[in-house]
Amino acid sequence: MLIDTHAHLYMEHFDDDIDDVIQNAKKSNIKKIFLPNIDSSTISKMLKLVKKDVDFFKPLIGLHPGSVNENFKSELKIIRNELEIRKYYGIGEVGIDLYWDKTFEKEQIVAFDTQIKWAKEFNLPVIIHARNAMDLTIDIIEKNLDKNLKGIFHCFTGNIDQAFRIMKTGFYLGIGGILTYKNSGLKDVIKEIPLEYLVLETDSPYLPPVPFRGKRNESAYIKYIAKQLAETKNISLDEIEKSTSENASKLFNLIPV
């Protein structure tokens, strides 16, 4: 079995064929898909998708760093309210993104800090998005670390030092399509990381694995990522499936299937 720990299948990219996408995922032996939120505008679409199959889809709630702007406090209020009124499986995706724009760096840090505190309060894992800000993001996690704080560095693309710092915090590395890209350098890093720190994800509709680069990504393609991980670590595909699924089940507190 496989678990996709990160997919935005509620986005408009899937409006025309979501039922096929779900069927493809199930045929590919995926048992659960975790849906990270973006901001207040995506919540209702995400919850609508969850309703299609509540055992299969597991919603996360959070404010994405790319959506943090001068209105972030009112956005956070909506996120907080959701946390209080509904069952969510984690806080995500949250973090720091300085790739496009550094205008709201301070606000991004405040929003991230606030949501980390909520994760601790509700005893939920944090799903972290870090882009052009890996060291800063790890600093913030280290500063907030206690025995309740846990989560995933989603779409990890850092270097070996950063990977080891993350391992020390007990967080997982989310491995996606980038592992299959020729010049990513990620394979050399992941070779050194024990299986007990790795989970799989697609980040659909983004970052499709080879041979689908340039196309829309979907959860079924996770098998290409799993195959690449098996090859990179020279471990059987069965072992990869078993260990990444166990890690995800443990993190998200799922009853073993």
Binding site for Ni ion (CB under 5 A): 203
Q: Smaller CB distance to Ni ion: residue 203 or 241?
A: 203
Spatial separation of the C-alpha atoms in residues 236 and 86, rounded to whole Å: 39
Q: Smaller CB distance to Ni ion: residue 152 or 226?
A: 152
Q: Smaller CB distance to Ni ion: residue 176 or 190?
A: 176
**Identity of residue 65:** P
Note whether 25 and 3 are within 8 A (CB).
no
Task: Kindly state the smallest distance separating residue 93's Cβ from Ni ion, in Å.
Answer: 5
Q: Which residues contact 141 (CB under 8 A, 6 or more apart)?
A: 116, 126, 128, 149, 166, 169, 171
34 is written with which tokens?
């975790």
Task: Kindly state the smallest distance separating residue 60's Cβ from Ni ion, in Å.
Answer: 10
80 is written with which tokens?
């907080």
CA-to-CA separations, 224 to 151, 155, 219, 231, in angstroms, rounded = 24, 15, 10, 11
Q: Smaller CB distance to Ni ion: residue 203 or 218?
A: 203
Task: Kindly state the smallest distance separating residue 234's Cβ from Ni ion, in Å.
Answer: 29
Task: Kindly state the smallest distance separating residue 38's Cβ from Ni ion, in Å.
Answer: 8
Give the residue from 50, 129, 128 showing the smallest Cα distance to 82. Answer: 50
- The CB-side HSE value for 200 (13 A sphere, CA atoms) comes to 33
Q: Smaller CB distance to Ni ion: residue 64 or 165?
A: 64
* DSSP H or E run through 126: strand 126-131
Task: Kindly state the smallest distance separating residue 8's Cβ from Ni ion, in Å.
Answer: 6
Q: Smaller CB distance to Ni ion: residue 75 or 203?
A: 203
